[in-house]
Amino acid sequence: MSIIRRINQGLLLLVIVTFCVVLYNKFHNLSSHQTVQSDNSPAVHNPIHTFKQRKSSSEDLIPIIICAAEERMGGTIATINSIYSNTNARIFFYIIALSDSLLHIRKWIENTKLKHIQYKILEFNPAVLKGKIRPDSARPELLQPLNFVRYFIPLLIHNHEKVIYLDDDVIIQGDVQDLYESILHPGHAAAFSMDCDMTSTHEMVRSMGMQNTYMGHLDYRRATVRDLGINPTTCSFNVGVFVANVTEWKRQRITKQLEKWLLLNVEENLYNSALAGGVVTPPMLVVFHRKHSSLNPLWHIRHLGWSPDTRYSERFLSEAKLLHWNGRFKPWDYPAAHMELWERSIESNFKSNRWTTAPGRLGGVRKKEGKRETIRYY
């Protein structure tokens, strides 16, 4: 009888444990904070979490990755609105944010005309960058974790072959489907815009002392850099706008290579970060050297943020498909170049809505400048 009693007790305990496991899994799966797997990369431990998702089929969607920093939320919204307003294609936005911005970005979307977009908000875990970023006081804002999201494309996109990555300081004036259909040659994991591809910008680049070659980004005094065998006068490319082949990115283990060059910089200080503007670009220049395709130059008109005095002709700006305020002078701050183009995009999002300015903490302040009245978003 003693043996039978013990067997019964054991069976009862097993049933209770099984019930608890089933119950836990049921409630865990219903949670709105579902973990997305990390593709088995040892350098990443589940860095992304789903916050909001709308049902969609991935086959006919154009996926776009964009970050939403708390202090630059207006920039993200302006970019998304400019895309949404200039295409009939089906777009799916992957909006990447830190934990303190998740609810805020949702308010921006749900209380404006952007409530109709298809999107997913993902939380980025900055712990994946621990020990991989060398402190740099020249422009500390460029060391923010979200600047490195572009390194982890395969961890964000699981059901798409191709994806567009955009910085939050761009405005789209063309149909983004044309950008998505950019040709990536066999063996290329990404397509970028070359810094020397438009003669109309050469004079401005020279006059402002901007760097458009590898020696402006890499420190050729370092043996590790010289051993790469890359000509220092080789034209660089801008990493703020690109189209990526996710399958090829995984096959070439691009993320691993980029992390390697981050770590090497921590050890050897390889990059001219103060001169070129941060440490995000140099690893990508190294990894993608002679291994990338090129975008149509009109799909990345940049340098608008290098100086408030930057001026392009109205005709040139009207022909541009994408405008990029790369540099210190962002269009949501004063002063900045061609602010009216950015303001047009952010303001149109709030028309015919109950919000007269941006929802949440970010609002608008009107400031008269001579005869012109503008809106500042902060």
Structure tokens at 334: 């004063």
pLDDT score recorded for residue 362: 43
pLDDT score recorded for residue 311: 84
Residue 161 to residues 27, 188, 338: CA-CA distances in angstroms?
A: 32, 13, 35
Banded pLDDT at 363 (limits 50, 70, 90): very low
Chain centroid, CA 75 distance in Å: 12
pLDDT tens column, 59-118:
689 999 999 999 999 999 999 999 999 999 999 999 999 999 999 999 889 988 899 999
> Which class for 182: exposed (0-12), middle (13-18), buried (19 or more C-beta within 10 A)?
middle
Residue 220 to residues 138, 146, 179, 198: CA-CA distances in angstroms?
A: 19, 28, 34, 26
Residue among 160, 129, 131, 162 at smallest CA distance from 146: 129
Return the DSSP state at 128. G
Q: What is the DSSP string of 185-201?
A: -TT-SEEEEETTS-GGG
Q: Which of 101-105, 155-159, 172-176, 354-358 has the lowest mean pLDDT?
A: 354-358
Please tell me whether residue 216 adopts helix, strand or coil conformation.
Answer: helix
pLDDT tens column, 137-146:
566 667 899 9
Return the DSSP state at 37. P
pTM (global) more than 0.75: yes
Pairing of strands 118-124, 190-194: unpaired
* pLDDT over 80 (residue 177): yes
* pLDDT over 60 (residue 353): no
pLDDT score recorded for residue 210: 65
Banded pLDDT at 31 (limits 50, 70, 90): very low
More confident site: 76 or 50: 76
* pLDDT over 70 (residue 18): no
pLDDT tens column, 207-225:
555 678 999 899 999 999 9
304 in Cβ contact with 328 (< 8 Å)? no
* Structural domains for the chain: 48-377 (3.90.550.10)
Residue 332 to residues 32, 220, 251, 335, 337: CA-CA distances in angstroms?
A: 33, 36, 39, 9, 10
Half-sphere exposure in the Cβ direction for 114 (13 Å, CA): 33
Q: Which of 28-42, 44-58, 64-78 has the lowest mean pLDDT?
A: 28-42
